[in-house]
Amino acid sequence: MSRPGADDGEGPAGASALREMRIGVIGAGYVGLVQAGGLVRLGHEVRLGEWDEARLDALRAGRVPIYEPGLAALISEGRATGRLSFHASNREAVNGASVVFIALPTPSDDRGTVDTSTLDRAIADVAPSLSAGSVLVIKSTVPVGTVRRISQMPAVAERDVGVVSNPEFLREGSAVEDFLNPDRIVIGSTDPHTAEVLASGVYRDLPGERVLVDPASAEMIKYAANAYLATRVSFVNSIANLCEEVGADAAAVLRGVGRDHRIGSYYLAPGPGYGGSCLPKDTRALSGMAERHGYDFRLLRAVMEVNEDQRRRIVGKVADAVGGNLSGATVGLWGLAFKAGTDDVRESPAADLALRLTAAGAAVRAYDPRASLSMPGMELSPDPLAAADGADVLLVATEWPQFRQVDPVAVKAVMRGSVVVDARNLLDAAAVRAAGLSYRGVGTGRS
């Protein structure tokens, strides 16, 4: 099998001959845009294909349609150097490319069935335009066996195209930093030359261990990592809830747990449960995969049940603050994004809480520094104090650091009620109480 740079005599996969490569990226979403911008920073020429005309027009006009710290600078740099171009035709984007990345959504339904139809259509579209001996890289999170299936597509196989799994591990809010400074780069391929094209060519100047495995293992690594993170979140929330019942301080307990070098402090913050574009769908998908293969993944089912229970528990705290009945109550909501540092509301715990509150009859006044969302029973406010104005209870649902800067005395002055439910344990509880408000966090007592 011929691969770019495999026989130029300059070491594995001819790394020096791959200093500058023409690369195609299909999909201008979170992953695709960061991938494209990051590859340009590494010195490659990148042609980005996108079907959404509005998104394409924005990019061509120099506007990045999503909020991600550092991403606008990467895209601007690419446009300024002429190494980044945008294409409505995916075939045009892959024309002459030695490596093509597929970064398209693969949602999962409630039973964990992954929908790869968008990815499959895109590959069928570009396959006839792929260069002979090129490398097709699957960045999307896909079911185990997808790389093998795509490799067997006639249009791919007849062009001697190598198909690789290269899952992404980008955290929204720090995705650019994660791309440029990865802790590992997972490459799943059955062909050593193909793997080296990525390991020593495409990603030549990036740090991080190269984890070279077979495609099925690479596909499973992404699911396993996200399912484990979801498990930590659900476990921590369960511990925090138990701390409330027994009178312990969850922050102190988890600080002590996190000092164990075998555990570490990451993902040990109580809150309203995991959310976002990856953990929920990937956890469902792994559970569904287990079920279809006859394995009873009881632990993962419990993780998802705990996550659902945590949302109900937070709503219960808000209801309790107004006497148990939310009908007719006004709730100030700080946060809509699923986490700070992003405008993404996909499967956001904050957005889900807003939906549950309005379904229970509450009127919600919401503010988020970046995210926006429309739903019946909720109005958007221009700032945090406006969201708290006239509220019977204030709910902190996203951990934006800006919320810590809001004067609790000013909050007390505009609220109708006096209870703050801090679902992120973000605020200074002592300062909130000193202002005459009652503070209720997660894993803490009442006051």
Residue 341 DSSP label: T
Q: How far are the Cα atoms of 12, 94, 164, 242, 422 from residue 91, in angstroms, in the given order?
A: 30, 5, 19, 55, 49
| Residue 8: partners with Cβ closer than 8 Å, 6 or more residues away | 14, 16, 17
One-letter amino acid of 370? R
Instruction: Check if 278 is active-site.
Output: yes
Closest CA to 311 of 265, 262, 357: 357
Give the start-end residues of each E strand in 144-276.
Answer: 162-165, 184-188, 209-213
Residue with tokens 């195609």: 24
Helices 215-246 and 250-258: angle between axes, nearest 10 degrees: 140
Active-site residue among 278, 364, 394, 421? 278
Query: For the chain, first and last CA: distance in Å?
Result: 69
The closest of 359, 368, 364 to 392, measured between CA atoms, is 364
CA quadruple 17, 100, 191, 202: dihedral, nearest 10: 40
Number of neighbouring beta carbons within 10 Å of residue 160: 14
The C-alpha atoms of residue 422 and residue 411 are separated, in whole angstroms, by 14
Catalogue the E-assigned strands of 60-118. Answer: 84-87, 99-102
Structure tokens at 400: 């934006």
Residue appearing with tokens 């740079």: 5
Which tokens hold the place of 297?
Answer: 């993944």
Q: How far apart are CA 75 and CA 61, in angstroms?
A: 11
Q: What is the DSSP string of 313-326?
A: HHHHHHHHHTTT--
User: In degrees rounded to 5, what are phi and psi of residue 403?
Assistant: -65, -25
Q: Which residues contact 98 (CB under 8 A, 6 or more apart)?
A: 4, 21, 22, 23, 131, 134, 135, 197
Nearest Cα to Cα of residue 411 among 380, 434, 427, 388: 388
Q: Which residues are catalytic?
A: 278
